[in-house]
C-alpha cells in the first residue's frame, strides 16, 4: 500500500466529513453561475463532489493517484481513472482540486501540475483549488490524534517544519483471524505562498479568498482563468 492508499484507507477515521461538505458547498456556489457542462475533478478522492455535480447535470470526470480512491469511485459508477493530470485527454469548462490537493505537491511538481491544468481548460475555463495557509498548517493541522472502532485503530502525528507538514499515519486493521495488520507511512504537505500562483504562464489568478474551515483563516480558495 503506498502512502496515498493508506490515506484513503484512513480518511473515514479522520472526522473530516463536515469540513468536506462545507468545501463542496463553497466550490458549488463558485461554479453555480458559470455555465459549466464539463468538469474534471483532480484528486477526486471517493468522488463525493462529482456525485453532487452530476446531480446538477454536469458531465464529470475524476482522476486521483490513489487506486483505492478510484476503485471506490468506479463502484459508484463514476468516470474515474488512476492517472496523473498530465495524462488526461480532452478539455473541460471547469477543473477543481478540492481539499489540500495542491499541498500534496512540492514546488516543482506544483508548477508542472498547474501548467497541465491550463492545457486541459477550455478557453473560458475556470480552475478552482484550495490551499492551507501557514496558520492552517502550524496551528490547525500540527498535532496528534487517534481514532478507533471495532476493526480499525488509527493514530496521526503531524509536525510542521520548514514549511512542510509531515504527517505520520499508523493504521491497524483487524484480520479475519482477529489479529491486526499494521500499516505505517508519511504524507508530506507543502506550504505554498500566494506569489507562486501569480506568475504562471498558462493560468491567471483572478480571485483569492482566505476563509475559516476549522479555525480562523486556515484556508485560501484560489480561482484561476486560462490566460
The pattern of x and - marking residues 84 through 123 that bind ligand SAM according to CB under 6 A reads -x------------xxxx--xx------------------
SS3 210: strand
Cβ 110 vs Cβ 131: under 8 Å: no
64 lines the binding site for ligand SAM (CB under 6 A):
yes
Q: Which of residues 1-30 bind ligand SAM (CB under 6 A)?
A: 4, 20
Pairing state between β 180-190 and 164-174: antiparallel
> Taking the complex as a whole, how short is the minimal distance between the CB of residue 167 and ligand SAM, in angstroms?
11
Closer to ligand SAM by Cβ: residue 66 or 133: 66
Which cell numbers hold the place of 90? 480532452
> Taking the complex as a whole, how short is the minimal distance between the CB of residue 64 and ligand SAM, in angstroms?
4
> Taking the complex as a whole, how short is the minimal distance between the CB of residue 39 and ligand SAM, in angstroms?
12
Q: Where are the alpha helices (DSSP H) in the chain?
A: 3-10, 17-31, 48-55, 67-75, 107-120, 134-135
Angle at 226 between CA 212 and CA 19, to 5 degrees: 20
42 lines the binding site for ligand SAM (CB under 6 A):
yes
Helices 3-10 and 67-75 pack at an angle, to 10 degrees, of 50
158 lines the binding site for ligand SAM (CB under 6 A):
no
Binding site for ligand SAM (CB under 6 A): 4, 20, 42-45, 48-49, 63-66, 69, 85, 98-101, 104-105
Amino acid at each position: 500500500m503506498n502512502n496515498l492508499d493508506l490515506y484513503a484507507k484512513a480518511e473515514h477515521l479522520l472526522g473530516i466529513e463536515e469540513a468536506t461538505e462545507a468545501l463542496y458547498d463553497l466550490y458549488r456556489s463558485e461554479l453555480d453561475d458559470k455555465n459549466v457542462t464539463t468538469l474534471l475533478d483532480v484528486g477526486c478522492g471517493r468522488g463525493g463532489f462529482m456525485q453532487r455535480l452530476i446531480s446538477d447535470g454536469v458531465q464529470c470526470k475524476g482522476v486521483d493517484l490513489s487506486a483505492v480512491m478510484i476503485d471506490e469511485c468506479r463502484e459508484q459508477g463514476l468516470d474515474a481513472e488512476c492517472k496523473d493530470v498530465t495524462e488526461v485527454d480532452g478539455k473541460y469548462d471547469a477543473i477543481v482540486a478540492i481539499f489540500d490537493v495542491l499541498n500534496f505537491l512540492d514546488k516543482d511538481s506544483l508548477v508542472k501540475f498547474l501548467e497541465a491544468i491550463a492545457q486541459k481548460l477550455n478557453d473560458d475555463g475556470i480552475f478552482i483549488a484550495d490551499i492551507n495557509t501557514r496558520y492552517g498548517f502550524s496551528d490547525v493541522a500540527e498535532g496528534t490524534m487517534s481514532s478507533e472502532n471495532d476493526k480499525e485503530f488509527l493514530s496521526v502525528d503531524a509536525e510542521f517544519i520548514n514549511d512542510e507538514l509531515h504527517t505520520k499515519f499508523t493504521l491497524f486493521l483487524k484480520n479475519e483471524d482477529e489479529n491486526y495488520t499494521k500499516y505505517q507511512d508519511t504524507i508530506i504537505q507543502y506550504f505554498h505562498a500566494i506569489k507562486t500562483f501569480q506568475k504562471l504562464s498558462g493560468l491567471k489568478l483572478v480571485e483569492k479568498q482566505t476563509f475559516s474551515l476549522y479555525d480562523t483563516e486556515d484556508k485560501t480558495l484560489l480561482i484561476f482563468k486560462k490566460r
